A and B are shown apart, each in its own frame.
Chain A
Amino acid sequence: MAQVTLSGIRKRYGSVDVIKGIDLQIHEGEFMVFVGPSGCGKSTTLRMIAGLEDITAGDLLIDGVRANQLRPVDRGAAMVFQSYALYPHMTVADNMGFALRMAGVTAAERSAQVGRAAETLRISHLLERYPRELSGGERQRVAIGRAIVRKPKVFLFDEPLSNLDAALRVNMRIELCRLHAELGATMIYVTHDQVEAMTMGSRIAVFNAGGIEQVGAPLALYDRPANEFVAAFLGAPRINLVSQPQADGSAAHRALWTLLADGRPDRVVRVGWRPEHVRVVAADTGIPAQVVLAEHLGDTSILYLRVEGVTELLHAKVAAGGPHLQPGVRIGLSARGDTVIGFDQHGCQVS
């Protein structure tokens, strides 16, 4: 258990600034998720915390001690890699005990600790196998087990679930949350999957292009995103962004804008409207729109809607829509409650 502080962290490869100054405080026992599109620098940041990459500038503090120059093992961090990185020529038990062996722990003590970790992860029956004799999910557990055995101060995960199939991914998500509750350890978890971020994190840091856009609890970010990027990144289907119509905008567009932006400050030039807040009503009562595509998922339906004069299709997530909501059908739109988010010309939220 430890707290990790990043202040002014930068990373530069040659002449390319990859991380452009990150300040972040990760509390003791917290499950912090780094989320963001591919290539935005999440892994690089994690690897700088791990000690696998040099820190170009800034300070990394672990439990208040500057760790920039410490060797990975002295930082007390354990990492789970996306590829698992299990040692192929060692059995599961040897894989999990390798760190202890390097630390000079006796064989008997090693096997006791490995045994305990294996029990926690329910992989005791796999200890004598080699990695290539395991399924993807089992390898994943072994990789996590290898991290647990060392009793690290901080766990680092780099997209650990992205090689698993969907069902297994949900299971491992639950498992990791259970593990976090059980160990109470500080965990930093990198993912590009916003569902993982929303469901697992105590707090989320949304990365974009080498910086952090916003940090906060999942629902706080969802309900009150600091800017359009965060609003668009969290939530599926994506939030609808509706721009202010030009003077010559269509009647439907202007009606939509009035519906969504009425009574907001003049600075607001764009509004965010979550798909689940879009209400479908009879064609003659709301803003006129046409269904372009309907995805009926059973419990809900996702509608892709065209409003005349609005360039982008609007997404609506409605309770199971029934077969009458088909491509080509004309409907009306209205808003559900006062849940629209306003943005100024720089994309920042206006409250």
Chain B
Amino acid sequence: MRGLRLSPGMAPYVLLSPFLLLFAVFGLFPLLFSLYLAFQVWEPTDGLAAMHFVGLDNFRFALGDAWFWKSLRNTVWMALASGIPQHAVAIPLACFLQAAFRQRWRDLMIGAFFLPYITSTVAIAIMFSSLFSTDFGLVNLGLATLHGLPGLSWLTPDHPIDWLGRPENIKPAISLIVFWRYVGFNMVLYLAALQTIPADLYEAAAMDGASHLQQFRHITLPSLRPMIYFAVTLSVIGGLQLFEEPFILTGGRGGSDQAGMSTAIYLYRMAFDFNDFGAASAMSWLLFFMVAGLTWLTNRALRPQGPAQ
């Protein structure tokens, strides 16, 4: 037995080893391997020996590839269209829930808003494909009903809309789903931050003559700033890696005219449909640099200011 006893110095490493092992196999190795692959040409069906070094060719190819640029534009479009409303809605919504509901009801509302976030993407995508279905979807049914009402006919279309088939509709539909999915998550973050703002700040502001709107502007928003910074950073990183929602809604191909093809989808197809692992790796590293750059910009723009704490 004595021989099996762990020395105190080793114990932490042994206890951490399951995680370290999994991380090495599924995290670190693919990371390094993709970095390596980005400088190789490789036909995976010919085995590992088929790799050979091509320098920066893969990067040159990616930067000259029209579809890669198109996928970047799609990604940024959808990240903005889903991301900005997420925060623009989540902050006022959190303030409203904070002000209007007692603890128990508030918790119930939080649960309801949080539900989409923990629901499987596949279930969400299937649900929305049927909601957005051209002939039988609830969305078109609703629009048709509105169209029938007097006074609203000029606002609403007179024929069913092909949401997921026509290129100009795909990005808005996907953005809406992404917005719907993450707005509750952001709201929970903001609600948590709101609860840390001392009530007497609002009382002091009321004594100073600030209206509710001015209190929001001068007390709430500055106090939320650290959380805004955190939540927007998450949205930037998440939005640029957008994959599951468009992948399922467009059948894994990016939709007609590649209108719903995010960069993550394109590089997935590059690797697994077109078998060009080298170019896919190069693109994934380009995407990474873009995420890093935009995160840095977010940091510059929203980082809490004032003297060090």
Q: Which residues of A contact B198 (CB under 8 A)?
A: 83, 85
User: When chains A and B are docked, how far (Å) is the Cα of A72 from the Cα of B208?
Assistant: 8
Given A98-B208, A102-B210, A103-B209, verify A130-B306 contact (CB < 8 Å).
yes
User: When chains A and B are docked, how far (Å) is the Cα of A235 from the Cα of B209?
Assistant: 40
Q: Which residues of A contact B225 (CB under 8 A)?
A: 89
Are B209 and A52 interface neighbours, CB within 8 A? no
Which A-chain residue is minimally distant from B304 (CB atoms)? A89
Q: Tell me if A50 counts as interface (CB < 8 A to partner B).
A: yes
Are B207 and A87 interface neighbours, CB within 8 A? no
B172 to chain A, nearest CB (A): 37
Interface string of A65-93 (1 = CB under 8 A from B): 00000011100011101010111111000
Which A-chain residue is minimally distant from B203 (CB atoms)? A52
User: When chains A and B are docked, how far (Å) is the Cα of A133 from the Cα of B210?
Assistant: 25
A53 to chain B, nearest CB (A): 10
Are B207 and A132 interface neighbours, CB within 8 A? no
Q: Tell me if A319 counts as interface (CB < 8 A to partner B).
A: no
Q: Which residues of B contact A52 (CB under 8 A)?
A: 203, 206-207
| B200: contacting residue among A81, A90, A132, A133, CB under 8 A | A81
Given A52-B203, A77-B207, verify A98-B218 contact (CB < 8 Å).
yes
Are A99 and B209 interface neighbours, CB within 8 A? yes
| B214: contacting residue among A79, A102, A150, CB under 8 A | A102
A80 to chain B, nearest CB (A): 9
User: When chains A and B are docked, how far (Å) is the Cα of A99 from the Cα of B208?
Assistant: 4
How many chain-B residues does the 8 Å CB contact rule pick out?
Answer: 20
Given A89-B222, A102-B214, A103-B209, verify A130-B307 contact (CB < 8 Å).
yes
Q: Which residues of B contact A146 (CB under 8 A)?
A: 204, 208
User: When chains A and B are docked, how far (Å) is the Cα of A146 from the Cα of B207?
Assistant: 11
Are B201 and A87 interface neighbours, CB within 8 A? yes
User: When chains A and B are docked, how far (Å) is the Cα of A98 from the Cα of B222?
Assistant: 14
Interface string of B191-203 (1 = CB under 8 A from A): 0000000101101
How many chain-A residues does the 8 Å CB contact rule pick out?
Answer: 26
A residues 187-231 touching B (CB-CB < 8 Å): none
| B203: contacting residue among A71, A85, A86, A130, CB under 8 A | A85
Are A85 and B209 interface neighbours, CB within 8 A? no
Interface string of B205-236 (1 = CB under 8 A from A): 11111100010001100110100000000000
Given A85-B200, A85-B201, verify A133-B307 contact (CB < 8 Å).
yes
A200 to chain B, nearest CB (A): 22
Q: Tell me if B7 counts as interface (CB < 8 A to partner A).
A: no
| B206: contacting residue among A73, A86, A103, A132, CB under 8 A | A73
Q: Can you pick out 18 interface pairs between chain A and chain B where the beta carbons lie within 8 Å of each other?
A: A51-B206, A52-B206, A52-B207, A71-B206, A72-B209, A79-B207, A85-B201, A86-B204, A87-B201, A87-B222, A89-B222, A89-B223, A89-B306, A98-B205, A98-B210, A132-B307, A133-B307, A150-B208
